[in-house]
């Protein structure tokens, strides 16, 4: 399944509070890979 990214009205970003940052990053990285959605940027400033 190839995911198409659209410009226009969409969810720009979300903020999640987690207790285990490394575990959460691994989980969401795997989900995004399965959905074929690239992770555009990450930042240690928010950890």
pLDDT, tens only, 1-45: 666 666 666 777 778 888 998 999 999 999 989 988 888 877 776
A 10 A CB-CB count for 25 gives 14
| pTM for this prediction | 0.58
Taking Cα atoms as reference points, which of 23, 18, 27, 26 lies closest to residue 47?
18
Q: How far is CA 40 from CA 19, 20, 43, in A?
A: 23, 21, 11
Residue 8: the pLDDT is 66
Residue 30: the pLDDT is 96
Residue 33: the pLDDT is 92
Q: What angle do CA 7, 30, 45 make, to 5 degrees?
A: 70
> Under a CB-based contact definition with an 8 Å cutoff, are residues 37 and 4 in contact?
no
């Amino acid at each position: 399944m190839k995911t198409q990214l659209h410009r226009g009205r969409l969810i720009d970003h979300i903020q999640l509070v987690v207790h285990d940052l490394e575990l959460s990053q691994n989980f969401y990285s795997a989900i995004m890979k399965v959905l074929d959605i690239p992770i555009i940027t990450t930042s240690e400033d928010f950890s």
